[in-house]
Amino acid sequence: MYTFGNKLYILTIIYLIAMCPESSVPPKIVEYVKNKDVVSIRDISQAFSLTEITAKNYLSRLAIMGEIRSIGRGLYQAGRVEGVIMRPPPMLAKVAEEIRGVFPMAEFTVWSLQMFSDYSHYMIGKDLMFVETSKMLSASMRDALISKGYRVVLRPEKRDFQEFAFYPQVPVFIFERKEFYGLTEFEGYFVPVPERVWADIYYYSTRKGFVFDSFELGLIFAAMVDRGGINFDRLLRYSARRGIFREVLIFLYELTKTNSKVGKSIAEHVLLGRRRTLSTIASMVEGATRRD
């Protein structure tokens, strides 16, 4: 119930933040949050022995200051996830609306191959839609979508990735996954930023047998760079969370050696602290093959 007392409390908090925003959050908490990709109220509460109300107040202040952004209930992401919003195609948007209609309070992420159509050199063939949600909701979402006529696969395996193109209708793959990094909110649900979609396609191609032409994946990457829709730091961060950091790092490093337009677009700081390691490896390879 919204009372005068509630309003006075809110106005007081806003006034204190406006008068002294930087000193309203202890420096140690600011530093802690900046070193985390995603932080929760519980994280702050446990790390600094604070009540959850106090932790929530600190995070709310940082959000108002623009240091972090809310990405879910009690969850915040350091910095702003800026960049191109990949709008879901009509069929995917309909799936998201179907889910929202049955689960109005659920947190879920949707994306599909067609979201890359603006970057692809060739027309994307058979589409494939992805839904990421919690383990608690995954089976219920599957049943709800099946009841509406969708072809749904829960926890897809390698065989599903290899055979989906033969399905008569566009399938929906549901993953029990709640990864909040690299997401942006769109009309009440989450969609991934381009870097995340690109990394996920690479991941499924190399880990799940998903047939996606690697040459085309490179063309898509170049198109993303040309259109300013890629953040290399974000790509590497997400790749680390996906377990493909070394592979993507080597890809970027090899690009810098090509003297191409896309290679020149990779800023020096992206490989800072990593270039020495990569150069050392290249030198060792040369030494190891010298006798050939």
Query: Helix (H) and strand (E) counts for the chain?
Result: 13, 9
Question: What does the pLDDT average to over 107-130?
Answer: 86
| DSSP character at residue 139 | H
Q: What gap in Å lies between CA 208 and CA 202, rounded to an integer?
A: 10
Class of the 4-78 domain?
mainly alpha
Three-state SS annotation for 175-197: EECCCCCCEEEECCEEEECHHHH
Residues of the chain with pLDDT > 70, as a percent, come to 82
- The pLDDT of residue 64 is 67
- Per the listing, tokens 């040459």 go with 215
> Using alpha carbons only, how large is the chain's radius of gyration in Å?
22
What is the per-residue pLDDT across 168-222, written as a single tens digit (0 to 9) for each? 999 999 999 988 888 888 888 899 989 999 999 999 999 999 988 899 999 999 9
Roughly how many angstroms between the first and final C-alpha of the chain, as a whole number?
79
What is the C-alpha to C-alpha distance for residues 137 and 125, in angstroms, rounded to an integer?
30
Residue 227 has a pLDDT of: 81
What pLDDT score does 39 carry? 85
Percent with pLDDT over 90 in the chain: 38
Q: What is the structure's pLDDT at 208?
A: 93
Q: Which residues touch 109 (CB under 8 Å, ≥6 apart)?
A: 130, 131, 132, 133, 179, 183, 189, 190, 191, 192
DSSP code of residue 266 = S
What are the structural domain ranges in the chain? Answer: 4-78, 90-223
Min mean pLDDT across 121-125, 139-143, 201-205, 207-211 is at: 121-125
Question: Is the predicted pLDDT of residue 152 greater than 50, yes or no?
Answer: yes
Distance CA 266, CA 83 (A): 16
Confidence of residue 110 (pLDDT cuts 50, 70, 90): very high
* Cα 143 to the center of its chain, rounded Å: 26
User: What one-character DSSP code corresponds to residue 33?
Assistant: H
Q: What is the pLDDT of residues 218-249, one digit of tens each?
A: 999 998 888 876 888 789 889 989 999 989 98
- Summarised one tens digit per residue, pLDDT across range 52-97 is 999 888 888 887 666 777 766 677 877 655 556 788 999 999 999 9
Q: Which of 23-37, 112-126, 262-276 has the lowest mean pLDDT?
A: 262-276
